[in-house]
Structure 1
């Protein structure tokens, strides 16, 4: 068991209130998440929020749903009382929340909710009340408009090991940005961030890795605020694309390249076998990563040992044991 994380070191992450066990759902119930409260709460300072409760809808309350035609922004109305339209109220409380919570590093959402659902929330036709298509909840749409860099994920989707690891990787990367770039803005801080995140970025989207490298080569010609905003938007969008065995293998081979001159032939073959076994799906990612870390501690440069790709989140969470 790893050391206990103090409150000061836990990362602030928002969460739909019902997932913490608060009885705020329309029927007075909750959707308590054991994983969030018993595992993630060790590392994250969870900050609950329920936009529907904040909008004054009360508990219990009439259920609400999204209504609209495909291609237009849906309204949020009552399922029984169609005159109950809370679209503007939800937008207002969402905007107020975002303005007061720029310190967050991520948000864990409730699946299927007309306010908090990340995707696949049913949208009903206004004429006949039949399901038309699906989309995101009202609160999520506000987050994407006004806080687009914030990592978002549904609690239910974190049952998928790849999506779970991806979300937590994004939270830690964004925390790095907030603490080391946003807190002390400068071209040097921006370049240092990119330097240590390079292979993590490569593992998620190699095209963005190349694009941002070219962009930063000329970043000092641009206003600092503009360069930082552009970089963060592209960086977080790239990390939102889950890495695959193929893209991880590419990053692993690049890291391995920093050891080729220092190792004997037998050791190099052991490492290459571990990477190939991972590529073929025979072992999880943690196997080649552990081997690389072992040899990098002895033979790696400061540059390669500083790569967040080698240790993007606490080892105790075991996230790379399942991917």
Structure 2
């Protein structure tokens, strides 16, 4: 009896201690897991607080600098504000200290950052004004206008001035329609009189700064300095209208003679050369001759456009 009771007590004691050990193990495991969770939560909360604090400090720095800028501008505009030498020295020290502090902060995230004040960019040089001085000699003996050689020299001067100033100019070619027929019908002397009259009419229609040259027996070349394409076409149209409206006569009271001309205009751009400009003007003039009398075509550098007719 006593033996069996002792055996049962022994079994209960063993079970009890096993239960105690299990409870301790479970408690330890639970506490360890809770500790890990709490540590992570605590770290995250601390990090959030720290980040919020940094953001608040950043906003404080920005607002303080803004306030300092506004106050400095007010002092600058305030009449009678004169800084004493020691005040000027203090401001310079504060400025340098602030710049060093900001530079150090920025370099933590960008080591290549250079906060040295950069000198202000030098102002762009003023554009070279368009300037050309015409060469009148040698002149055409019949009309007194600059001749073909003078035209070539002046065209080169015009192109150089355009390149230096980066400005556009213009070239207008005018050719009498069916000039050989006029010469055959009227003779050399009378036909030359009509040519002189036409050239005089054209000279009165263009601007003072434009240069009218006799390019050949029946052709004029007009240089238009510092002229945009639209203005150049307007001047060309005025020259065309002046010939179209004029009543040509060999003698003052003689019969009227029907005289017309064809016109070719081109812009002379800064990167063009004289030969290119003349070729474009000649192409525009050829289109006008093909189309009929009193025609005006203009070359824009890419294509030829019909401007005026009739």
Give the TM-score of the pair, scaled to structure 1.
0.21
Which structure dedicates a bigger proportion of its chain to helix?
2
> Max radius of gyration: which structure?
2
Q: TM-score, normalised by structure 2?
A: 0.22
